[in-house]
Amino acid sequence: MKKMKKIANTIAVPCLVLSIALAGCGDKTATTTPAPTKEAAPSATPDSSKDLKPVELTYYFPNTPQKDLASVEDELNKLIKPKINATVHLKLVDWGTYDEKMNVLMASGEPYDLAFTSTWANNFYQNAAKGAFAPMDDLLAKYAPSLKGSVPDSFWKAVKVKGQTFGVPNFQQATAGYGYLIQKSVADKYKFDWKSVTKLSDLTPFLETVKKNEPNLVPFGISKKEDIFTNAPAMFGFEALGDAITPGAIYVNDASLKVVNQFETAEFKNFVTMMRDWYTKGYLRKDAASLKDMESDKKAGKNAMTWGQIDLDTAAFEKAGMESTGRMSNANKDVQSYDLQFVKPLLTTDKAASTITAISATSPNKERAMMFLNLLNTDKEVFNLINWGVADKHYKKVGDNRIETNKDGGYQIISPWEFGNMTNSFLSEGDPKGGEVDGKFIKMWSDLNKNAIPSNALGFVFDFTPVKAEKANCDAIIDELYYAISTGTVDPDKYLPQMLDKLKKAGADKIIAEKQKQLDAWKAANK
């Protein structure tokens, strides 16, 4: 989700695809994560606050500028000062300039204490490797033992660089399940048994019905930007290494970690053959290969079906006795969807490391910064204050764990995935009704992370530097031919061999060999 998540964040709406409970995804009333039924107890710090000298912390994070940030900072400091004898300055930076700001800050050597980092903003792995962040294993053990225990071990694996921990993963729904979103009103109208679908071809009768009877609808919505194979390789059994448009991936279920050219596989050929069939039958837009964005179609309810990240599907909500909030588009809550999961959730490096808080190597107060991180992740009051603002000013309580936000209050951060452990968050307007009862939604959410299939390469990050020229050449070939093939616009029997030949000449084999070399070295170092 992170390449595309970055794109979305530049327009200040951290949302990519449609499905309930996307990690860090939604509009200003979109789903968050419910608080547990039993309030999390603040962790005691090793030293009494009266024995600690007062310090000031600086905390950088990206978001939309907030008019009333100062009042939230004031209330936050009233809350944390008695606990750790520290105050924090909230340094909010606009999404579009965050990377630039952090690069300049780190290059200058100016001291600061904490910063948001990830695989898609303020690059975690690059900055940790070059020494911009402080190692924190000892800090965690001494100043935040309850924080360490509150996050599954699989997440901690993703924030290690050369055997050391350099960040605290903000515990959120970080799995990657994928499937199809079927417009509810259309499926109901034609009595389509969506629950019986087990393979891609099972959807063909529904698409044919739509094509014959609904001339104003696009049976299957897809575009160049929202291509399935490169954005959701797990739907076809693959895990990308580096990115999914570059040759070189591994099979999800292959513990040997053999790198293959995913475009040469039977899985890819079968997929593009199906897409060609659908395209020739008129199930896709004629301009799908060049269409940059289909959000307007989704918002207007013009797609009878599309695809998306689906971690909690409609059947799961029905089983739990909750109302599904599946939507074809977060921009239009009236266009509801049946969400059909095709791939069980997978935990990958990209997902587990998608939202992290790091301590700067330049911080003069690393111990106190870790104490603050401990509070941010284990103290519900601290977490909800920085995320939702001040009660009765920026939001009002409408239930034990549910709130309604004040859109005119001057503080609309609403991105709990950015700050800490999301299990401490209130539910808001976009969360499923009934989810707060007996902690049902939080249990579903937590179980997803606990039961997700951990990647065999969890923690591996590919460095493209040795093959950057070959990557650039292959990217050009992909842009030239791939999208026409993947949308069925052209005959794969004719054009797929051409693409594979051009990729080989552009250096695909060298890229794959380099991926295998780095992966083998990583595997040997992490036995």
pLDDT tens for 301-332 read: 899 999 988 877 888 887 777 777 688 876 67
Give SS3 for 233: helix
Angle subtended at Cα 213 by Cα 207 and Cα 219, rounded to the nearest 5 degrees? 30
Predicted confidence at residue 453, as pLDDT, reads 84
C-alpha dihedral sign at 478, 484, 486, 491: negative
Max intra-chain CA distance, the chain:
76
Which residue has tokens 């600690």? Answer: 52
Question: What pLDDT score was predicted for residue 513?
Answer: 99
pLDDT value at residue 327:
82
Residue pLDDT, tens place only, 173-188: 777 788 999 999 999 9
Q: What angle do CA 373, 374, 379 make, to 5 degrees?
A: 110
Indicate the pairing of strand 160-161 with strand 164-165. Answer: antiparallel
Ranges of the chain whose pLDDT falls below 50? 1-46
Per-residue three-class SS string for 373-401: HHHHHHCHHHHHHHHHCCECCCEEECCCC
The pLDDT value recorded for residue 1 is: 35
| Cα–Cα distance measured from residue 256 to residue 454, given in angstroms and rounded to the nearest whole number | 15
> What's the token pair of residue 326?
């599946």
Percentage of the chain beyond pLDDT 90 is 62
Q: How far apart are CA 336 and CA 225, in angstroms?
A: 22
pLDDT on residue 295: 77
| Full set of structural domains in the chain with CATH | 2-14+34-172+351-454 (3.40.190.10)
Q: Would strands 114-117 and 356-359 be described as parallel, antiparallel, or unpaired?
A: antiparallel
The per-residue pLDDT for 31 is 40
pTM of the model: 0.76
pLDDT of residue 116: 98
> In this predicted structure, what is the pLDDT of residue 435?
64
Q: For residues 108 and 111, what is the distance between their CA atoms, to the nearest angstrom? A: 9
- Strands, DSSP E only, in 131-288? 160-161, 164-165, 168-169, 176-183, 218-220, 238-240, 249-251
